[in-house]
């Protein structure tokens, strides 16, 4: 399979991403981590949870924690609207939902258009960021969703959806 991809791109590996926006920034995550993308639904608030946890939802009989990426990245809350989406992912064997302002598209980009992030990136700790993709007229920040939450925060979330 990798040979086929390499031949199609002249030897350059393709990365498949789901792109989304938070505020004015555009982000991308590995499509293989994404289970589904849902419209915003009512979230049940759980007392004594971290401020970036909106609460939980019932997704086909399974209770999953919902993380507001705006809050996780230290940005102001935004009123949810018709574009707000929940990106459902499985991380370390747990299903979580991440709230984003809007989902843009699925992209296939050559790995060669990405580069390591600079040490300091406006408002977002670089440990979450795997790379920056330089597209024609925009930059795309590639996130490692497994590193968006610390080990301790993963443990806190287990208690939320237990």
pLDDT digits (tens, 9 = 90+) for 83-104: 999 999 988 788 999 999 999 9
Q: Hey, CA dihedral for 66, 71, 77, 78, is it positive or negative? A: negative
DSSP state of 144: -
> Which pTM does this prediction carry?
0.84
Spatial neighbors of 144 by CB under 8 A, at least 6 apart, are 128, 129, 130
Kindly give the pairing relationship between strand 139-143 and strand 25-30. parallel
Structure token digits, residue 47? 């007392």
Instruction: Encode pLDDT of 126-156 as tens digits.
Output: 678 889 999 888 999 999 888 887 767 777 7
- Structural fold of domain 2-160: OB fold (Dihydrolipoamide Acetyltransferase, E2P) (2.40.50)
């Amino acid at each position: 399979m990798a040979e086929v991809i390499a031949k199609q791109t002249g030897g350059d590996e393709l990365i498949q991403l789901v792109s989304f926006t938070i505020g004015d920034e555009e982000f991308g995550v590995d499509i293989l981590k994404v289970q589904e993308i849902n419209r915003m639904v009512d979230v049940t608030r759980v007392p004594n949870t971290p401020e970036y946890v909106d609460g939980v939802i019932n997704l086909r009989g399974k209770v999953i924690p919902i993380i507001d990426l705006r809050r996780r990245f230290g940005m102001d809350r935004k009123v949810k609207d018709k574009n707000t989406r929940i990106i459902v992912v499985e991380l370390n064997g747990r299903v979580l939902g991440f709230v984003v302002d809007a989902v843009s598209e699925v992209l296939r980009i050559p790995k060669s258009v990405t580069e390591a992030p600079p040490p300091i990136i406006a408002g977002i700790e670089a440990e979450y960021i795997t790379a920056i993709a330089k597209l024609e007229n925009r930059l795309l920040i590639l996130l490692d969703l497994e590193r968006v939450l610390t080990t301790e925060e993963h443990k806190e979330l287990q208690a939320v959806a237990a």
